[in-house]
């Protein structure tokens, strides 16, 4: 795109962390009014580049030019002053303050006294910029949805006159409908001449939103590619450096007897009772966007929240877990969608993480047996293809993919018969994703019954044997994955018509 | 007190997301090594500059003083490592234990029965606090409240008078020196090894570490998180009981104004020892080293005629330096 003028040029950027090269002589340029997607597996270097630009990290070597002026970015506030705004998944919204106050937060206001009305007037144009003109600026920001909060954050940065916006996985925590809103705002801002760097794991988004894409691999960047000239296979091939023939493993050949059945179960998050069945060796995918209620079903089975009414039968016997421990005793394992919060022990090593659910298996009469611990942890690492050399490392140190393997793997210690997983590959790069799918399928083939909840439709169709779709607290449809079209699934989870709502009794 | 916790978190560990835990762990090891080096340097300097320092008599005093703080610090390290910060009732529970032990001895219950009953009661005192914390109460507030309760109870038991033990057996317990080393110091050394072994090598120790590392993940993994708080504080209660008994036995009497400043000394030992306030990391050995270091420093100052005000000031500065130093150590990147 030589005709467009360049707002940002980074050249020869290198950055090392200890012995690890995060970036190696990377060149990067951004044109005015374009959306540039950054793609790469975890650790490929895209986050590091973005952090250098945001003033959070300093490059060891290389030069940065903004609007043709050489600049050394010293701190986040310095970057913002230079017109670079960084929006991360961790929003800096202050919930109890009003939307207007949030937008003005940290800005330079000459006046000592301000009134609500004046603040509202001041922020109105920025709210309009991000498509929130219908929001009352005086409501507490905490009362908005996550997507709206994200837009408020963008508005705040725009009010500082940011010309280059870095959006770091802006849609990771959003539902499809909300994602559309954010994407619309991104397109609008670009069309008004702002430049956007869009970091994402979702390949689909790249095609919808980006003009060009820069791919990172092993700390190096490739020449930006026009999105128009790409197709998805090519993109994956670029990302991995090899063609990924099949992301998903095959389906289950034979299903065993029913292990779990839900009859008319009501749980927090559901608006109608749900009935479902799960067989040995089956992978059941619960598809739904944020607020669909699918999580509530899984959590009721896991004993996280008790079901309100209805009955659950486990291997033909009534089962009503009052706590997670109850479920664990029955061989039910549960991985939530927030593994950093409750899936791993960040400051403990992998031996300890892998064996944390079944301390009795590594101890004899209260004393820990080191050989048993090593044996179990090594087997699990082997099964999940976690490098055994990393077993002594802290879990927090691992990539998202490896952390997820640990969060899943630790459950094999209880020899579960049912595995419940929410968002099995959230924040996991493409390569590790395929591995996790393969491991889950392998477990199912060994007789484990798996239920997973996902807002990634592709994942649901690819991994599940049976799909149950959820929309706003109710079960829309249960169908075999082979018989379900991607379009049907998308409609089910976003806006099913009344005629589509069928209840499987 | 909430703010205390936040400040403590910040001071001790810095922003977690900036931290490479592996490096942090190495740094922690470095911090322990640094403490050992500092201790050796202090011993050499004190020995060279202070004629009376390296005498047998004086070293026994140092070791015995370290034992009082040290034994309680061992118990406290369990509380901290299990993710429950500090118990601010350790001093008070030690006093109460001393008074109960004195009262039992005076009432002629005999040494063994008095020992058993005192230890059971002190353990019970810890268990009650632990139980309440296990139910979700804030550890700082809970133990602060119990501290007042224990102190009051100690005054009631002793009626604010010296309780004379009048027992030769108890006196030996407090002043005896098997193989030339005071009984307290034997207890300190043995308990340090036991505490280390329990934390590293038993299921309970693993439960404590995992609970401290991530309470929510612990619950989600089916661990009995409450047990960690309960057992941690119970063990601290036992340690307070042991310290109380030793003190009463050593002086031949119990009184409600023993152990002044013990809470601070114990917390100082934890901080100087470099145990992370976030929990989930650290070892009782660090707490023991911290206690020894502070005791040597105190003794050194005492021999140099520092007033009590200056000694407290210097230990205070040491805690500040240790905390900040550790913080800086963590932030520096390789």
* pLDDT for the residue numbered A500: 44
Lowest mean pLDDT among A26-35, A46-55, A98-107, B105-114: A98-107
- Residues of A with CB below 8 A from B197's CB? none
CA distance B126 to B235: 7
In a domain, B214, yes or no: yes
* Residue from A299, A332, A320 nearest A419 by CA: A332
- Helix (H), strand (E), coil (C) string for chain B: CHHHHHHHHHHHHCCHHHCCHHHHHHHHHHHHHHHHHHHHHHHHHHHHHCCCCCCHHHHHHHHHHHHHHHHHHHHHHHHHHCCCCCCCCHHHHHHHHHHHHHHHHHCCCCHHHHHHHHHHHHHHHHHHHHHHHHCCCCHHHHHHHHHHHHHHHHHHHHCCCCEECCCHHHHHHHHCCHHHCCHHHHHHHHHHHHHHHHHHHEHHHHHHHHHHHCHHHHHHCCCCHHHHHHHHHHHHHHHHHHHHHHHHHHHCEECCCCCCCHHHHHHHHHHHCCCCCCCCCCCHHHHHHHHHHHHHHHHHHHHCCCCHHHHHHHHHHHHHHHHHHHHHHHHCCC
* pLDDT for the residue numbered B333: 37
Indicate the pLDDT class of residue A176, thresholds 50, 70 and 90: low
Ranges of residues in chain B whose predicted pLDDT is under 70: 1-28, 329-334
The reply to whether residue A342 touches residue B216, judged by beta carbons under 8 angstroms, is yes
Containing structural domain, residue B30:
26-330
Q: What backbone torsions phi and psi does residue A370 show, to the nearest 5 degrees? A: -60, -45
Nearest CA in chain B to A323: B222
State the DSSP H helix or E strand holding residue A458, giving kind and residue range, or none if neither: helix A457-463
CA distance B64 to B68: 7
Does residue A463 carry a pLDDT above 80? yes
CA distance A113 to A117: 12
In a domain, B83, yes or no: yes
Gap from A65 CA to chain B (nearest CA, Å): 27
Residue B1 neighbours by CB under 8 Å, 6+ apart: B138, B140, B141, B144
- Residues of A with CB below 8 A from B24's CB? 347
* Residue from B314, B320, B269, B286 nearest B31 by CA: B286
Structure tokens at A265: 């179960």
Gap from B212 CA to chain A (nearest CA, Å): 9
Does residue A265 carry a pLDDT above 60? yes
3-state secondary structure (DSSP) of residue A173: coil
Spacing of C-alpha B170 from chain mean position: 23
Nearest CA in chain A to B334: A18
- Residues of B with CB below 8 A from A420's CB? none
End-to-end CA distance of chain A: 58
Given CB atoms, is B111 within the 8 Å cutoff of chain A?
Answer: no
3-state secondary structure (DSSP) of residue A87: strand
Out of A348, A357, A366, name the one closest to residue B222 (CB). Answer: A357
Query: How would you class A268 by CB atoms within 10 Å of its CB: exposed for 0-12, middle for 13-18, buried for 19 or more?
Result: middle
Does residue A371 carry a pLDDT above 50? yes
Q: A83: left (phi > 0), else alpha (psi -120 to 50), else beta?
A: left
Does residue A284 carry a pLDDT above 70? yes
In a domain, B17, yes or no: no
Count how many domains chain B has. 1
Global pTM reads 0.76
CA distance B267 to B265: 6
Look at A480 and B59; give whichever has higher pLDDT. A480
The reply to whether residue A345 touches residue B223, judged by beta carbons under 8 angstroms, is no
Does residue A498 carry a pLDDT above 80? no
* pLDDT for the residue numbered A372: 93
CA distance B11 to A170: 32
Q: What backbone torsions phi and psi does residue A155 show, to the nearest 5 degrees? A: -60, -40
Indicate the pLDDT class of residue A258, thresholds 50, 70 and 90: very high
Gap from A164 CA to chain B (nearest CA, Å): 25
CB atoms near residue A327 (< 10 Å): 25
The reply to whether residue A324 touches residue B205, judged by beta carbons under 8 angstroms, is no
Please enumerate, as own/partner, the contacts of B146-153 that have beta carbons within 8 Å and a separation of 24 or more.
B146/B89, B146/B92, B146/B93, B147/B88, B147/B89, B147/B91, B147/B92, B147/B93, B147/B263, B148/B92, B149/B92, B150/B89, B150/B92, B150/B93, B150/B95, B150/B96, B150/B125, B151/B92, B151/B95, B151/B96, B151/B256, B153/B96
A338-352 pLDDT tens trace: 888 899 999 999 999
C-beta of residue A457 within 8 angstroms of C-beta of residue A204: no
CA distance A410 to A343: 9
Out of B207, B209, B220, name the one closest to residue A336 (CB). Answer: B220
In a domain, B21, yes or no: no
The reply to whether residue B22 touches residue A394, judged by beta carbons under 8 angstroms, is yes
C-beta of residue A334 within 8 angstroms of C-beta of residue A298: yes
- Residues of B with CB below 8 A from A404's CB? none
Beta bridge partners of A470: A475
Look at A497 and A374; give whichever has higher pLDDT. A374
* pLDDT for the residue numbered A434: 86
CB atoms near residue B264 (< 10 Å): 16
- Residues of A with CB below 8 A from B281's CB? 347
Indicate the pLDDT class of residue A275, thresholds 50, 70 and 90: very high
The reply to whether residue B204 touches residue A368, judged by beta carbons under 8 angstroms, is no
What domains can be seen in chain A, in order of their start residue? 6-240 (3.40.50.300), 244-494 (3.40.50.300)
- Residues of B with CB below 8 A from A343's CB? 217, 220
Please, what is the average pLDDT of chain A? Answer: 84
CA distance A26 to A31: 17
Lowest mean pLDDT among A95-109, A490-504, B96-110: A490-504
In a domain, B305, yes or no: yes
Q: Average the pLDDT over A197-214 and give the result.
A: 82
CB atoms near residue B114 (< 10 Å): 25
In a domain, B5, yes or no: no
CA distance A51 to A47: 6
Nearest CA in chain B to A19: B334
The reply to whether residue A345 touches residue B214, judged by beta carbons under 8 angstroms, is yes
Gap from A436 CA to chain B (nearest CA, Å): 20
* Residue from B3, B12, B88, B127 nearest B267 by CA: B88
Nearest CA in chain A to B224: A325
Structure tokens at B236: 């601290």
Lowest mean pLDDT among A97-106, A277-286, A295-304: A97-106
CB atoms near residue A310 (< 10 Å): 17
Does residue A334 carry a pLDDT above 80? yes
CA distance B23 to B175: 45
Gap from A252 CA to chain B (nearest CA, Å): 28
In a domain, B18, yes or no: no
- Residues of A with CB below 8 A from B202's CB? 363, 366-368
- What sign has the CA pseudo-torsion A391, A394, A398, A400? positive
Structure tokens at A349: 């090593």
Q: Would you state the torsion angle of the CA atoms of residues A16, A22, A23, A29, taken in this order, to the nearest 10 degrees?
A: -130
Gap from B20 CA to chain A (nearest CA, Å): 7
Nearest CA in chain A to B221: A357
Q: Average the pLDDT over A45-57 and give the result.
A: 87
The reply to whether residue B210 touches residue A356, judged by beta carbons under 8 angstroms, is yes
CA distance B319 to B6: 17
- A/B interface, count of CB pairs below 8 Å: 86
Rounded percentage of chain A residues whose pLDDT exceeds 70: 89
Out of A328, A346, A366, name the one closest to residue B214 (CB). Answer: A346
Q: What is the DSSP letter of A79?
A: H
Gap from A328 CA to chain B (nearest CA, Å): 7
The reply to whether residue A342 touches residue B220, judged by beta carbons under 8 angstroms, is yes
CA distance A469 to A285: 8
CB atoms near residue A105 (< 10 Å): 14
Structure tokens at B243: 């310290």
Does residue A329 carry a pLDDT above 70? yes
Name the pairing type of β-strands A220-221 and A212-217. antiparallel
Beta bridge partners of A243: none
Q: B108: left (phi > 0), else alpha (psi -120 to 50), else beta?
A: left
In a domain, B3, yes or no: no
Residue A460 neighbours by CB under 8 Å, 6+ apart: A285, A287, A454, A467, A481, A489
CA distance B314 to A286: 62
Look at A21 and A182; give whichever has higher pLDDT. A182
- Residues of B with CB below 8 A from A342's CB? 214, 216-217, 219-220
Gap from A356 CA to chain B (nearest CA, Å): 7
CA distance B300 to A77: 49
C-beta of residue A394 within 8 angstroms of C-beta of residue B22: yes
* Residue from B295, B248, B244 nearest B70 by CA: B295
Prediction ipTM score: 0.85
The reply to whether residue A344 touches residue B217, judged by beta carbons under 8 angstroms, is yes
Q: A224: left (phi > 0), else alpha (psi -120 to 50), else beta?
A: beta
Lowest mean pLDDT among A202-206, A315-319, B122-126, B134-138: A202-206
- Residues of A with CB below 8 A from B204's CB? 366
* pLDDT for the residue numbered A89: 67
C-beta of residue B134 within 8 angstroms of C-beta of residue B229: yes
* pLDDT for the residue numbered A183: 84
The reply to whether residue B280 touches residue A348, judged by beta carbons under 8 angstroms, is yes
Gap from A439 CA to chain B (nearest CA, Å): 20
End-to-end CA distance of chain B: 35
Look at B175 and A486; give whichever has higher pLDDT. B175
Spacing of C-alpha B10 from chain mean position: 22
The reply to whether residue A345 touches residue B213, judged by beta carbons under 8 angstroms, is yes
The reply to whether residue B201 touches residue A342, judged by beta carbons under 8 angstroms, is no
Does residue A320 carry a pLDDT above 60? yes
A245-254 pLDDT tens trace: 467 888 887 8
- Residues of B with CB below 8 A from A347's CB? 21, 24-25, 213-214, 276, 278, 280-281
Lowest mean pLDDT among A47-51, A160-164, A174-178, A181-185: A174-178
Given CB atoms, is B313 within the 8 Å cutoff of chain A?
Answer: no
Gap from B211 CA to chain A (nearest CA, Å): 9
Spacing of C-alpha A280 from chain mean position: 29
Interface test with B, best of A356, A389, A407 (most B CBs within 10 A): A356
State the DSSP H helix or E strand holding residue A63, giving kind and residue range, or none if neither: strand A61-66
Gap from A432 CA to chain B (nearest CA, Å): 22
3-state secondary structure (DSSP) of residue A182: helix
User: Looking at residue B305, which CATH number applies to its domain?
Assistant: 1.10.3470
Out of A341, A367, A410, name the one closest to residue B221 (CB). Answer: A410
* pLDDT for the residue numbered B129: 98
Nearest CA in chain B to A343: B217
CA distance A408 to A440: 9
Question: Helix %, strand %, coil % for chain A, to 5?
Answer: 35, 25, 40
A379-410 pLDDT tens trace: 999 999 888 888 998 998 888 888 999 999 99
Gap from B143 CA to chain A (nearest CA, Å): 27
- Residues of B with CB below 8 A from A364's CB? none
- Residues of B with CB below 8 A from A393's CB? 22
Out of B216, B222, B333, name the one closest to residue A328 (CB). Answer: B222
Given CB atoms, is B83 within the 8 Å cutoff of chain A?
Answer: no
Q: Which residues in A have their CB inside 8 Å of a CB on B?
A: 17-18, 324-325, 328, 334, 336, 341-348, 352, 356-357, 359-360, 363, 366-368, 393-394, 396-397, 410, 414
* pLDDT for the residue numbered A250: 82
């Amino acid at each position: 795109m030589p005709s467009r003028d360049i707002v940002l040029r980074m050249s020869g950027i290198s950055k090392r962390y200890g012995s690890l090269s995060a970036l190696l002589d990377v060149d990067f340029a951004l044109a005015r009014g374009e959306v540039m997607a950054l793609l790469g597996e975890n650790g490929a270097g895209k986050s590091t580049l973005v952090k250098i630009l945001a003033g959070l990290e300093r490059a060891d070597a290389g030069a940065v030019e903004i609007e043709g002026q050489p600049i050394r970015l010293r701190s986040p506030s310095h970057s913002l002053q230079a017109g670079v705004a960084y929006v991360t998944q961790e929003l800096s919204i202050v919930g109890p303050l009003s939307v207007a106050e949030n937008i003005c937060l940290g800005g330079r206001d000459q006046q000592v006294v301000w009134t609500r009305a004046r603040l509202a007037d001041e922020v109105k144009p920025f709210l309009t910029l991000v498509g929130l003109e219908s929001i009352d600026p005086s409501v507490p920001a905490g009362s908005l949805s996550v997507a709206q909060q994200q837009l408020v954050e963008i508005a705040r940065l725009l009010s500082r006159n940011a010309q280059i916006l870095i959006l770091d996985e802006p849609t990771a925590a959003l539902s499809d409908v909300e994602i559309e809103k954010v994407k619309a705002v991104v397109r609008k801002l670009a069309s008004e001449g702002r430049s956007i760097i869009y970091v994402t794991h979702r390949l689909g988004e790249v095609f919808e939103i980006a003009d060009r894409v820069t791919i990172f691999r092993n700390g190096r960047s490739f020449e930006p590619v026009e999105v128009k000239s790409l197709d998805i296979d090519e993109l994956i091939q670029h990302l991995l450096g090899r063609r990924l023939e099949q992301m998903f493993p095959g389906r289950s050949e034979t299903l065993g007897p029913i292990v779990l059945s839900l009859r008319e179960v009501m749980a927090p998050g559901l608006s109608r009772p749900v009935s479902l069945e799960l067989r040995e060796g089956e992978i059941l995918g619960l598809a739904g966007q944020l607020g669909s209620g699918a999580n509530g079903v899984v959590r009721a089975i896991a004993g996280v929240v008790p079901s309100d009414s209805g009955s659950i039968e486990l291997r033909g016997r009534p089962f009503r877990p009052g706590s997670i421990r109850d479920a664990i005793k029955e061989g039910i394992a549960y991985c939530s969608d927030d593994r950093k919060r409750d899936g791993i022990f960040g400051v403990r090593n992998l031996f300890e993480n892998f064996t944390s659910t079944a301390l009795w298996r590594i101890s004899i009469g209260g004393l820990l047996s080191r050989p048993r611990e090593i044996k179990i942890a090594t087997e699990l690492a082997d099964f999940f293809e976690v490098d055994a050399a990393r077993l002594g490392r802290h879990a927090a140190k691992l990539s998202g993919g490896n952390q997820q393997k640990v969060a899943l793997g630790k459950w094999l210690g209880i020899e579960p018969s049912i595995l419940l997983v929410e968002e099995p590959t959230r924040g996991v790069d493409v390569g590790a994703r395929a591995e996790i799918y393969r491991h889950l399928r392998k477990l199912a083939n060994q007789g484990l019954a798996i239920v997973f909840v996902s807002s990634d439709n592709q994942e649901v169709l690819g991994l599940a044997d049976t799909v149950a779709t959820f929309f706003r607290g109710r079960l829309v449809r249960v169908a075999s994955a082979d018989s379900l079209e991607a379009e049907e699934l998308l409609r089910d989870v976003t806006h099913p018509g009344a005629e589509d709502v069928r209840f499987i009794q | 007190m909430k703010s205390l916790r936040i400040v403590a978190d910040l001071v001790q560990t810095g922003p977690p997301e900036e931290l490479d835990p592996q490096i942090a762990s190495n740094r922690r090891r470095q911090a322990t090594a640094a403490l050992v080096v500092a201790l050796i340097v202090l011993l050499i300097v004190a020995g060279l500059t202070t004629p009376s320092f390296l005498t047998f008599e004086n070293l026994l005093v140092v070791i015995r003083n370290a034992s009082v703080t040290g034994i309680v610090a061992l118990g406290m390290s369990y509380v901290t490592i299990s993710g429950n910060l500090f118990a601010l009732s350790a001093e008070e529970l030690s006093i109460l234990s001393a008074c109960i032990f004195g009262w039992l001895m005076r009432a002629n219950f005999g040494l063994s029965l008095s020992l058993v009953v005192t230890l059971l009661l002190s353990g019970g005192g810890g268990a009650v606090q632990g139980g309440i914390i296990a139910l979700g109460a804030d550890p700082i507030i809970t133990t602060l409240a119990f501290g007042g309760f224990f102190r009051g109870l100690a005054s009631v038991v002793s009626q604010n008078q010296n309780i004379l033990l009048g027992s030769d057996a108890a006196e030996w317990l407090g002043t005896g020196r098997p193989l030339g080393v005071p009984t307290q110091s034997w207890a300190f050394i043995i308990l340090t090894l036991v505490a280390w072994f329990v934390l590293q090598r038993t299921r309970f120790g693993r439960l404590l570490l995992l609970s401290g590392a991530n309470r929510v993940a612990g619950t989600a993994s089916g661990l009995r998180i409450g047990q960690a708080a309960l057992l941690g504080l119970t063990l601290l209660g036992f340690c307070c009981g042991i310290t109380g008994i030793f003190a009463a036995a050593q002086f031949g009497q119990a009184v409600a104004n023993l152990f002044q400043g013990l809470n601070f000394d114990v917390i100082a030992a934890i901080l100087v020892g470099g145990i992370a306030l976030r929990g989930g990391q650290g070892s009782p050995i660090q707490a023991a080293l911290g206690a020894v270091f502070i005791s040597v420093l105190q003794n050194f100052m005492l021999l140099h005629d520092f007033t009590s005000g200056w000694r407290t000031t210097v230990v205070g500065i040491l805690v500040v330096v240790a905390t900040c130093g550790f913080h800086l150590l963590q932030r520096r990147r390789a």
